[in-house]
Amino acid sequence: MLEAGIKGQKEIIVTQEKTAKSMCSGALDVFATPCMIALMENTAFESVAAELDEGCGTVGTKVNVSHVAATPVGMKVTCETELVEVNGRALKFVVKAYDECGLIGEGEHERFIIFDEKFQAKANGKLAEK
């Protein structure tokens, strides 16, 4: 059973592929906001995955973060997440990202526990509707 307090941590190095210029989210060679958000989601996802029942997963439902400092190519970024609220199948995380000089992003991220096969089947069902 999931309980508040579960923490996650993940580190990456900023590469050219993770820049705003490469991600089409800006014109500079700095860590892209979409990549920071993906790192936050992935860290939260992985932090609780082992605690879920077999056949269950989580999907992101909300992201509310601020990207407060730029990070150049070659620098390490560390993401930390903490599960702060469990409300049925709804999960709320506090997320933070740091580079080697300090805080670069912070906020909240929400995920929802789903039954993998049922969720995928429902999503695939949209193909028959179009």
Scan for tokens 């695939």, then name that residue: 124
Q: What is the mean pLDDT of residues 6-20?
A: 98
Measure Cα distances from 46 to 5, 10, 49 in Å: 14, 9, 5
Q: Which long-range contacts (CB under 8 A, 24 or more apart) does 50-54 make?
A: 51/1, 51/2, 51/6, 52/2, 52/113
80-108 per-position pLDDT tens digit: 999 999 999 999 999 999 999 999 999 99
The helix (H) or strand (E) run that includes residue 121 is: helix 116-129
Which residue in 41, 58, 81, 110 is the catalytic one? 41
Active site residue 61: no
The residue assigned the tokens 């990549």 is 35
For the chain, domains (ranges, CATH) are 7-129 (3.10.129.10)
Render pLDDT for 47-86 as a digit per residue (tens, 0 to 9). 999 999 999 999 999 999 999 999 999 999 999 999 999 9
Answer yes or no: 67 catalytic: yes
The answer to whether 19 is a known catalytic residue is no
Q: Determine which one of 19, 43, 58, 67 is catalytic.
A: 67
